[in-house]
Every structure is written in C-alpha cells, then in structure tokens.
Structure 1
Amino acid sequence: MLSLDTLYESLCLRKRPEDIAVLIRDETGAHLSSAELALLDKAASLALRNQVWQYTSMLESFAAVVGAEQQINTAIQLFKVDHPNGAVTDPQVVDTFLATVSPLIHKNPGFSSYKTDRLNREARAAAGLDLSKRRYNKLFRCLRHLEKKLRTMISQAEKSRFQRIGKHAFAEDISREDFMADTHSACFIAYYTARCNLRSEFTIDGQQRPYDEIADMLLQRCLLHPETANWWAIAQVYVAPHVLDKLTAEQQGFLLGKWTTLLQQIATLLENLWTTNEFNQMTMVVKRGNDSSTWNNTAAAWNKARDSWINLHYALGMDFMLDEICFGKAMRLIAGDVAAWHHAMGNNGDKNLLVWNQLPLPWEVLSGKTTCNRERVAAACRKVGLDPQQSGWLAPRKHQAVPFRATPELVHGVTITNPYLAKILKQHKYFSGKITE
C-alpha cells in the first residue's frame, strides 16, 4: 500500500520513469513473470536509489504558482483578521479571503479604481467607517494590490494547468479511490504518466514517445485482468481507441464533453497569445520577445485535447461531425538554432507546418468565426504528401510501443553526464548564456 500511495502522489509530480518503475517492482515484482520482470528491470535498475550519486539536477515537480503570502500577511496586519484556511497559492483561497475582508471598508471586490471606487469623507461617514482618509487609502491600496496579485495567480494557474494537461492529460483528476481500486491499472497509469512528463530534448530526431515497451507490458496486464481493470481511470491519461472501447457510452460522452470544454478554454488563451505576440506563422521560428514557453505549453495542451476529441468522436460513432467542423493542430514554436540545424541536415521542413499554413487558425474555427471541415483538412494534407488518416490530422493515431530508453539528464534540453556538475554550472549561468565575471 505504501508504494501505491507514493505512485498516486507522483501523478502531479515529474518523477523519472525509472523511479516509478522501481516502485512498481516493489509492489508487483512477486507476481510478474521472468520476462515481465526482465523488461521492468530495464528501467528499475536505473532508478536513483540504485545509483551511486542518487541525485538528479532536474526538478521533480512542475513550476508552482507564486502565492500571495506577502500580500495576505500585509492585509492580516492592517485589518486585524485571521489567516485564511488553505494554501495561499490557491486562487480560490485568496478570492474567498478578499470577499471576507473587502466589506470591512465597504469595498466591492474587483472595483479598485482610485478615481471612481474609493469612498470620500461623506460616504465613509454614511457607511459608519470611522477612518481617516490616510488610513482608508492604505487599506484600499492593500486590497487593490491583493486583487492584482489574484489576477496574476489566476493567469499563472491556468497556464500551469494547461502545461500539465499537455503532458499527462487528466491524470491529476483521478481520485485516490479510483487509483487504488486496481493495482495493475495504477501501475500503468503511474508509469505512463511519468513517461508523458519527460522533458523535451534539444534534437532534430524527434522526441521520445511515452508509450514504450514497459508501458505496453503494464497495459497488457490490465487486459489480462478485465474484471478488475479500471478503464475509466486509464482513459484519463491514455485516450486510445482500444481503451475507449472498454468504456460505456455514458462515460465516453462525459469525456467528450470534458475535452470539448477544455478545448474552448485553451482556445481563449491561444488567441490571446497570438494577438499579443508577433509570431511568424509561415515558419513558427521563435523571435525575441515571443512568449515561446507559454505558447508551446498551451499548443501541446491543444493538440492533446484535439487528439482526444477526435478519438472520442470515433469511439461514439460520431466521426460524421468532422464533416461539419474539424479544426487543425496548433504548431509549436521552434528555436532558430534548431531550425538552422534542420536546414544544415537537408531537412526541407515539417509537412505539418505546411498544413497549418493552409488552414484557418484553429481557435477561430472552434469559435465559429470561420469554417473548416474534414475535406478541407484532408485536401491540405494530400497537397503536401501527408496521409490524412495516419498523420493524426483526421483519425486516431496508432500507438505502437517503442523500445525503452533511459531518461537523459538534461539542462535546457541538452544531455549532460553528471547531474551534480550540471547544478554547479547552472548556478554560474553557463547554460543561460550569461557568464558571471
């Protein structure tokens, strides 16, 4: 049970797959065949606890939202109120605190204009506030700063959520009860989630695919125990056709609604990023000033949600809907040096980028500002030599297991050999282009 608890807690972290594999070995090793054990040991043997250094320079968690501790503490001192219940990194906690404190000076949350929303002397007297102008302005300013911080936190929380969903889909929505219901399902979910969370490498050879031979073995064990496998929980992270087939029509419909809602939320941020940045749509090569990290994380979430949306339409026998509306993928920004590397190696460009440039912007299709359907996407794919069905533009992707490959120790996508040395070099800015004197 201890290993299962640790596996569940790893769903919102960024643990190395090897460190998840060794926990799975602890939990299920006695029940694995010799062939299964040998396969699992490819990863488990490389766990940090089995290494001399037992150390990685890579963070094992996603970037956290910067909380409002400073602003909350200031408000507590000025208003003489108690600390809110809950973490002040949670925007909902901060919002509730504001709703509680603002009435103390008869301020409406969200109305923070110095010109129109402050109370003058007569209004303060009428409200029963025995406060000097200086004292009132100080309290008003405190809440104004807290509201500004809350808006920043909400934006950060949304971007962080999309980043995590772009990696591991709805893994964090799996309840502890559902996760613990079946050991085989739990092991697959935890390992596959860790594989999905791998960092991008600085390469032109493509990124590692998350569904490797170990993930396949763990899923096969679920298939061997259909009476206990929790396919609903598995479908939160692995929205493959053969998994969706195990769900009821009601469950499939619920997931379709969930992914559709997410697409609408992502589309809003994508459109905002597109209009506030000057992206080169033809090349998608990043330029100075582009918010490339937020764009790429959000585009990854869009593409994950789009794949799931398409898969669910096929699972429900509703792929005819694509004849009416079929929005495209969102292309990620590419670094200039990677683009130059491709060119030097004789690569003529990504065919998906050529399709992207023939289609209307996907968020405009989703919002109804323009139209795009299956035939238009298929024609764009055929024009550049892509198979519309096999390329992921119009049909579920075929997931084939890839060989296991050890997680590289990365610094800004570049593989290094010694994690401790990497930490020292990062501290001295060697990987950021800013060498200290």
Structure 2
Amino acid sequence: MTSSTAIRRIDLRTAGTGAGQQHDDYRAALPRADFDVEAATQVVRPICEAVRERGAEAVREFSARFDGVEQAEITVPPEALATALAELDPAVRAGLEESIRRLRTTCEAELERDVVTDLGPGARVTHRKVAVGRVGLYVPGGLAPLVSSVVMNVVPAQVAGVRSIALTSTPQSEFGGLPHPTILAACALLGIEEVYAVGGAQAIAMFAYGAGPCRPVDLVTGPGSIWTVAAKRVLRGVVGIDSEAGPTEIAILADDTADPAYVASDLLSQAEHDPLAAAVLVTPSERLASEVEAELDKQVSVTRHVERVRTALAGRQSAVVLVDDLEQGLAVVDAYAAEHLEIQTADAAALAARVRNAGAIFVGSFAPVSLGDYCAGSNHVLPTAGCACHSSGLSVRAFLKSVHVVEYDRPALLEVADHVVALAEAEDLPGHAAAVRARLVEG
C-alpha cells in the first residue's frame, strides 16, 4: 500500500533484507536524520568567540541578525514576567501547576542522600552530593514555544538545591523582543527571576563566558537547534553540558493488538516538532503497518502543521520497520536506542522490562509520549540519535556533583600504611610514600 505521507518501509525479516543481521547491523540499517553537528561547529565557533570578546554587544548583534530583533537590553524585566503570569490562560496555568507538582514529586523521590561508609575504626569515607552552584537553562522558542521545557529544566535544578538559576529563550519580534509570554509565565510561576531574551549559539556562549548582566554558569542544560548543540560541543570544558540533543524521535514497538489510530497519532505527535523529527514503527504485523499508514493519511491531512509533519514522515529518519517477531523487534529497538520508546503489545510491561536502551519507555496503549512531554512526572529532556545506549535523560542527578570526603585517624592510617607505601613505590612516586611515613613517626 502506498501512503501519501510517503513514509518508507524497511524489511528486516529473515525472508526480507534483514537475514542474519546482528545488533550493529540493525543500527546501520535503521533510519536517522542528517544532523552534522561537527559541520555546524565551524559556523558557531566565531559566534562564541565574539561573545567571549565583546559580551552583550555581540549577543545583541546576533539577535538582530538571526532573530530579527533589535535589543537595548537582553534581560527580561520583572514586570514582563509578572504581566505574563497575570495574563496566562487559567487552563494553561492549571496544566503547568499539575506538571510541576508531578515532576517535583518524582524528583524529590530520586534525590540521593549522602552515603557514609565506615571501613574500620577511625576510617570513614562519605559520598557527599553537592548541588552545582549556578546553572543556565536553555528553552527553545523557534518553531514552537516549548513552555514545558521550562518545567523540565527548572524543577530538577530546584529540587537538587541549585542556588543560582538563569534561564534564556529566543527573543520574538511579535512580542517586542521578549521570549514567548507563556514561557515567561512559567518562569514566574516557578520563581525564576533571572531570565534573558537570547537564543541560539550566542545564548550558550553567554552562559559559558558571561555577557552583560549574565554571569558565567557552571552547567548548561536544555534542548535546542543544531546551532545550540554545536555551541555546546564547542564550549564543553569551558562549561558543563547535559548532552548534545538532536531532533526529537519516537520508536514504537507494536503488534496486532495495537490500535492503529493510536500508533499513527503518536508518530504524528513527534513529527510535528520538526521537519527532522524521526517517527519509527517496528512491527511484525504487515496488517498493522498498512492500517497505520492509512491512519497517517487520514490524520496528517487534518493536522495543523501538515507540511512539517509530512516532511518529517517522508524523511530518511522515519520508517515502518518490519520484523519477524517481537523478539527481533526488541533487538531492533534496543539497537535504535530511541529518545522515546512506546511498547504497544499484548504483554507490554514484560517487554518493556527487557529494554536496555531508551531515553524513556512508555508502556501500553494509554501512555503516549505526549503524556511524558507534560504531565507523566518524567522528564522530557532525553538523549537522542542513539545516545540512549550510554546516556540518561535530565534529572536531579544532572545538577548534583559527587564529592568523596575522607576521614582517617592515626591508627586507621597505620593499618593501611604499608599498602599505600607499596603501591606508591610501585608507581615510582616516593614522595607519596614519604607523605604517609611522615605521619607514622612517633612525636
């Protein structure tokens, strides 16, 4: 069946092109968006250097060039935050409040405590968790005002105990050079007072080096365009980063029990983010594949962002992937390591428990990714482009550092001194051994 959405099929069944494929082969066979961060670094490097050298002046110049906004100041005034909250649609405010409540609950539950280990009398090591001192949170404001990203960045930072939080979002000409008012309202609702109207690579550089009223931060988090991702790569080491998140993606592992209308709507929901968004269905059912394609035709034709969605679904990053059975399907989605993975099968919970690689897993027919984007209590800032095989989504842990605190008295040092000396001598570091011996001489 040919779909007007033009989403392609990839056949990984034994009888198809997938005979004998292993985990690494699946990675090569599965679709991914073209997202050349390394090439983009050559573009953003001069931007970052200009901000380092000329500060807020350079930031304002780039806002004029890239966002079409002339700015006298990059700081969002307090009255703009207050006005945005006062004028916020009550239904949107209620949604934000519930999203904040649920995410704060899960963040508080995962907050790690100090761990004290006594290794013997007088010998103690404390694994202490210390919040990052100052963070810069980036909220995209390009194709859509991602107000939910304010919640997803701010709440875990607050729960972690970060004392200094700055947030920035793209200036919008239609709002007088300020970020979208819904984003400002969310900042006010969360008590974030330091807000900037800066987007793109210049925003990441502002956080890294400081510019005008914005002091340098220790860590930058938040999703963004390829330019912000490239800036993170360039400035990593100058400032800590959460990840290099690319275009959003969804993978759905489904069988004949799945509702094709649900599956199609979930694929569409991610495709509307960005023309480079990835939507991948993995299924052993040709019938489901055809029914989902038919549903996509129906649903895409009436969606608001029809051209954006069609571009994403027709792109090389999206596909319907046919597999022999759910066992092979599980191997395929594990190899793909999706940002968002939905399991819509007869025994979804059992399959989900076996998944190793995914940013977030949504189990069953009534846990769509949209739920996670807003009110599930999970975080939607997640690893993309296969990075879920080694990285995690944003959480309280991203805003905490681990510090070992070592406390030994003289008898405890004496007990282990011979081992320390032997190892120091083995590494030809006699000064290390001498530092221990000096403490063992009777005074």
Q: Which has the higher strand share?
A: 2
Larger RCO (CA under 8 A, 6+ residues apart) = 2
TM-score by length of 1: 0.23
TM-score by length of 2: 0.22
**Greater fraction helix:** 1
